[in-house]
Amino acid sequence: MDPHAIEVRRLRKTYPGGIEAVKGIDFEVASGEVFGLLGPNGAGKSTTIGMLTTTISPTSGTARLAGFDVAKHPLAARRISSVVFQEPVVDRSLTGRRNLEIHARLWAVEESEAKARIAEIADTLGLSELVDRPVGTFSGGERRRLEIARALVSQPRVLFLDEPTVGLDPRIRAELLDVIAGLRARNDMTVLVTTHYLDEAERLCDRLAIIHSGRIVALDTPTALRADLGREIVELRVNGDARSVLESLRKRGIAGDDAFTVGSTLTVPLHEHTSGEAIAVVSELGVASAISTRQPTLDDVYLRLTGDRLAEAA
Ligand code: ADP
């Protein structure tokens, strides 16, 4: 049987000084899958990516890329993978094509093969028109696309994208997402992406893991993660202490263990109750200044599990 594209078993990283950044995580990613790693700052995402890309040595446990143990066979693991870092690595003074050619040579891709690959990748990433311009003249979004093109030149079986859309304006972000979504069509490549943007994770990822304080706290398809919160949510803007209102609603049987507060906002997944019942109880208690109902989103899943506000995580 083919090994998983990525297989992580009881992986741990304790930095000198005793900081336990990753506390024993397990997951596997199938070939061709797009897998998301989400979590607030300090959750352990970069450390995990660092171990998978062989720049950080695990304290214990194993991680394999296409069967190659990253600690025992780092060169083999690197040979079948590529990383797109947050920091640019392309040379601004050279043209896009020259950057790609140099990278191809680094990977010992034969010249005519490199030419064909670069043409195909430039076409896939919508770079054909600008690939002969110096990178210094590229917009931020175009440069990001070139960074991805660079990573694809070696035809990786596993591609790591570390927060690919951070800091981009909405249009450029949408364009880049479209390009990344296009990579899903390539069944031979597995993508692991880290992001703070939940809409992005929902759109791109077949499955995702939410990591918090060095542990995976949820792992499933975006749809299944949302389904855990039921079909409907009541959201209250609370007068006074949201936590004590939550306790009252728990005592009345309206709120379950998965209800949570962020500041003065209280979010209550309803499950077996109707919104009418919930609103009646809230009105009777006289504790809310605003009340609304909606369907659960991935943000709710994330906020419930990480206990952090997105603003802090971004
Ligand atoms: P994320 O990428 O999710 O923001 P990180 O993996 O960067 O999380 O960090 C996880 C934890 O490990 C944090 O507490 C961070 O301060 C700590 N950490 C990261 N890098 C180092 C390092 N080189 N030395 C010591 N502690 C580190």
SS3 of the chain? CCCCCEEEEEEEEEECCCEEEEEEEEEEECCCCEEEEECCCCCCHHHHHHHHCCCCCCCEEEEEECCEECCCCHHHHHHCEEEECCCCCCCCCCEHHHHHHHHHHHCCCCHHHHHHHHHHHHHHCCCCCCCCCEHHHCCHHHHHHHHHHHHHCCCCCEEEEECCCCCCCHHHHHHHHHHHHHHCCCCCCEEEEEECCHHHHHHHCCEEEEEECCEEEEEECHHHHHHCCCCCEEEEEECCCHHHHHHHHHHCCCCCCCCEEECCEEEEECCCCCHHHHHHHHHHHCCEEEEEEECCCHHHHHHHHHCCCHHHHC
Ligand 1 centroid–CA 42 distance in Å is 5
Q: Is the pLDDT of residue 309 over 50?
A: no
Ligand 1 centroid–CA 141 distance in Å is 28
Ligand 1 centroid–CA 82 distance in Å is 22
Ligand 1 centroid–CA 87 distance in Å is 17
Q: What is the pLDDT of residues 200-233, one digit of tens each?
A: 899 899 999 999 999 999 999 999 999 999 999 9
Q: What is the pLDDT of residues 130-171, one digit of tens each?
A: 999 999 999 888 999 999 999 999 999 999 999 888 878 888
What domains are there in the chain, each with its CATH number?
Answer: 4-225 (3.40.50.300), 230-295 (3.30.70)
Q: Is the pLDDT of residue 312 over 60?
A: no
Q: Considering the chain, what is the average pLDDT of its residues?
A: 91
Structure token digits, residue 15: 């930095």
The minimum-distance atom of ligand 1 relative to the CA of 43 is: 3
Q: Say what the pLDDT of residue 19 is.
A: 96
Ligand 1 centroid–CA 19 distance in Å is 8
Q: Is the pLDDT of residue 47 over 60?
A: yes
Q: How confident is the model over 254-278, as a mean pLDDT?
A: 93
Q: What percent of the chain has pLDDT over 90?
A: 75
The minimum-distance atom of ligand 1 relative to the CA of 17 is: 25
Q: Say what the pLDDT of residue 141 is.
A: 87
What is the rounded CA–CA span in Å between residue 260 and residue 32?
A: 35
Ligand 1 centroid–CA 14 distance in Å is 10
Confidence of residue 12 (pLDDT cuts 50, 70, 90): very high
Ligand 1 centroid–CA 126 distance in Å is 35
The minimum-distance atom of ligand 1 relative to the CA of 214 is: 10
Q: Say what the pLDDT of residue 192 is.
A: 96
Q: How confident is the model over 256-276, as a mean pLDDT?
A: 93
What is the rounded CA–CA span in Å between residue 259 and residue 249?
A: 9
pTM, 2 dp = 0.90
114 backbone dihedrals φ, ψ, rounded to 5°: -60, -45
Residues in contact with ligand 1 (CB, 6 Å cut-off): 15, 19, 21, 39, 41-47
228 burial level (CB within 10 Å; 0-12, 13-18, 19+) = middle
The minimum-distance atom of ligand 1 relative to the CA of 47 is: 6
Q: What percent of the chain has pLDDT over 70?
A: 97
Ligand 1 centroid–CA 65 distance in Å is 22
Residues 47, 59 contacting (CB under 8 angstroms): no
Q: Is the pLDDT of residue 313 over 60?
A: no
Q: Whose CA is nearest to atom 16 of ligand 1?
A: 42
Q: Whose CA is nearest to atom 6 of ligand 1?
A: 44
Query: Residue 230 region, left (φ>0) first, then alpha (ψ -120 to 50), else beta?
Result: left
Structure token digits, residue 249: 């609603």
Beta sheet of 215-220, edge-to-edge order: 81-84, 158-162, 190-195, 34-38, 207-212, 215-220
Q: Say what the pLDDT of residue 1 is.
A: 60
Q: Whose CA is nearest to atom 13 of ligand 1?
A: 42
User: Which has more pLDDT, 23 or 89?
Assistant: 23
- Kindly provide the b/e burial profile for residues 256-287, where b requires at least 16 CB atoms within 10 angstroms of the residue's own CB: bebbbbeebebbbbbeebebeebbebbeeeeb
Q: Say what the pLDDT of residue 176 is.
A: 83
Residues 230, 300 contacting (CB under 8 angstroms): no
Ligand 1 pocket: which of 11, 12, 14, 15 to mutate (most atoms within 8 A of CB): 15
Q: Is the pLDDT of residue 310 over 50?
A: no
Confidence of residue 314 (pLDDT cuts 50, 70, 90): very low
Q: Whose CA is nearest to atom 17 of ligand 1?
A: 21
Q: Say what the pLDDT of residue 53 is.
A: 96
